[in-house]
Structure 1
Amino acid sequence: METLNNEKIIYSLCIEDIQTVAEQEIERKLTNKEIEEIQDTIAEKIDWYEAIAHSISEKIPIK
């Protein structure tokens, strides 16, 4: 079995992702200052534990 790099990033968001949502939600791009203001709260709002647990239960059969 191949081993994976434990430091591999599985999912990430980039500035382009944030700007896409901003354009759809408020019909304009955010300034650099606005992005800096929201970046920490974005990370706080992502329930990574539940996303991982749900994906495991959805895709990995229990033996």
Structure 2
Amino acid sequence: MKIFVSLMKDKNDIIYSLSISDIQTVAFQELDRELTGDEIEAIKDLIGEKINWYDSIFNSIIEKNIGN
């Protein structure tokens, strides 16, 4: 239990994030160029709206057979 408590000290720790580099990697692979700053600004909120975080978390819990 001591390990669990130390891992859970800050419940606001970020588990997963995307960087500008991640966005540029996709842009270069798909468009053969990087995006401009304005283009990144135009899509960054859309990216967050398209990530189904609830299902990702729940499916990961099921995949690891946690709670059964």
TM-score range, shorter chain: over 0.9
By how many angstroms is 1:61 displaced? Answer: 4.7
Match of 2:44 in 1: 39
- Structure 2, unpaired ranges of 5+: none
Normalising by structure 1, we get a TM-score of 0.93
By how many angstroms is 1:27 displaced? Answer: 0.4
Give structure 1 regions of 4+ aligned residues with deviation exceeding 4 angstroms. none
Greater length-normalized contact order (CA 8 Å, ≥ 6 residues apart): 1
**CA distance in structure 1 between the partners assigned to 2:67 and 2:54 by the alignment:** 19
RMSD of Structure 2 on Structure 1 (CA):
0.9
- Structure 1, unpaired ranges of 5+: none
Normalising by structure 2, we get a TM-score of 0.87
